Amino acid sequence: MSVEQAPVQRADFDQVMVPNYAPAAFIPVRGEGSRVWDQSGRELIDFAGGIAVNVLGHAHPALVGALTEQANKLWHVSNVFTNEPALRLAHKLIDATFAERVFFCNSGAEANEAAFKLARRVAFDRFGTEKYEIIAALNSFHGRTLFTVNVGGQSKYSDGFGPKITGITHVPYNDLEALKAAVSDKTCAVVLEPIQGEGGVLPAELAYLQGARELCDANNALLVFDEVQTGMGRSGKLFAYQHYGVVPDILTSAKSLGGGFPIAAMLTREDLAKHLVVGTHGTTYGGNPLACAVAEAVIDVINTPQVLAGVNTKHDLFVARLQQIGEKYGIFTEVRGMGLLLGCVLSDAFKGKAKEVFNAAERENLMILQAGPDVVRFAPSLVVDETDIQEGLDRFERAVKTLTQA
């Protein structure tokens, strides 16, 4: 017997929710593929992907099937026990990457928290109490816990929460000389995003990542890659580090890993993982059977030559059209990124107006993203249909036209 649900509307958010978010004026209620419908039945094309999460779009049959099957078996047992989906998923991640050990959790922030704790524990065990400093990049983003928000190089997110965690230094991204000047024998880890996501969809230069690897090796420090946003095929390879041929010591994954179901992972080598002995770290829901079953279906679909090649083909379609729109209306100076994580850098005339572009797109029934005030971001499904790409970009051009010809 179903229970009748009380009707809700957008105004309820302002009455019942903590006001740390400012959601759009409509409420999505259903999705299929790259299309979403709101309470009124309005249909929108989704190029936001839940902020690079809905890697296979909405209600993908493989994910629905995996979740439904597991929901009829086992939901939760905690880490007092292990479970089959977690072990199968761990094997698949290890087989596809440099990793030898996996730690499962629930969000990118948790994965990064685990990575930073592991880096400090390894340094403590091997070199003593003075080797605990972490070097990260300005404008980076690594999560919202107190530790991760301090490692993230954006003070607007870390100010106002009391004393900051010490031993963290920030240097300009893609500036190898600045990184060299900061690394010392006290450095336990260098933390980088191969593509800065929230910081503006800015890819790392190959020489920068190669130099970071060499600096870490020379100073007994660990290289940590935050691939929360770039992982699981988003870049056109399963993980972005595989484009560069630079292998980290620790890698974090979340967002697309569950295709919309909350799950995250920290990947590392066996010789490092052994420093997190029983009792040193944990999470109640980490490795949840439901989450791991869905994530296993995600990697089975994505980690195929057909899907990964398709990401690169779709990348070319997006970039060509976005560049054309940028040139026609003078709104972008650059389209950058990899795969289906793309950022359009606003021209001087539109600096600071990414939110206005977001709003204009929504009025044209298109969901997009910002990456700061000066960059419009696209993170659609990796299997978005070409017809949806063309229709979505038609809607985007109409939105841009309303702003440039106002």
Known binding positions for pyridoxal 5'-phosphate = 108-109, 141, 226-229, 284
The Cβ-side half-sphere exposure at 197, using a 13 Å CA radius, reads 27
Give the annotated binding-site residues for N(2)-acetyl-L-ornithine.
144, 283
**Residue 61, φ and ψ in degrees, nearest 5:** -60, -35
**CA gap 252, 194 in Å, rounded:** 11
**CA gap 390, 332 in Å, rounded:** 19
**CA gap 82, 102 in Å, rounded:** 13
DSSP at 76: -
Give the annotated binding-site residues.
108-109, 141, 144, 226-229, 283-284
- C-alpha of 375 from chain center: 16
**CA gap 125, 33 in Å, rounded:** 48
**CA gap 373, 269 in Å, rounded:** 38
Question: How are the residues of the chain apportioned to helix, strand and coil, as percentages rounded to the nearest 5?
Answer: 40, 20, 40
> Do the Cβ atoms of 88 and 297 come closer than 8 Å?
no
Name the residue among 168, 173, 272 with its Cα closest to residue 220. Answer: 272
Q: Hey, which bits of 28-77 come out as E strands?
A: 28-32, 35-38, 43-46
> Do the Cβ atoms of 42 and 26 come closer than 8 Å?
yes
Task: Write out the two tokens for 134.
Answer: 């972490």
Looking up tokens 């994505």, which residue turns up?
Answer: 302
Which residues, including other chains, have CB under 8 Å from residue 341's CB and lie 6 or more apart?
52, 195, 197, 201, 229, 230, 234, 235, 377, 378, 379
Name the residue among 368, 344, 371 with its Cα closest to residue 358. Answer: 368
**CA gap 128, 109 in Å, rounded:** 26
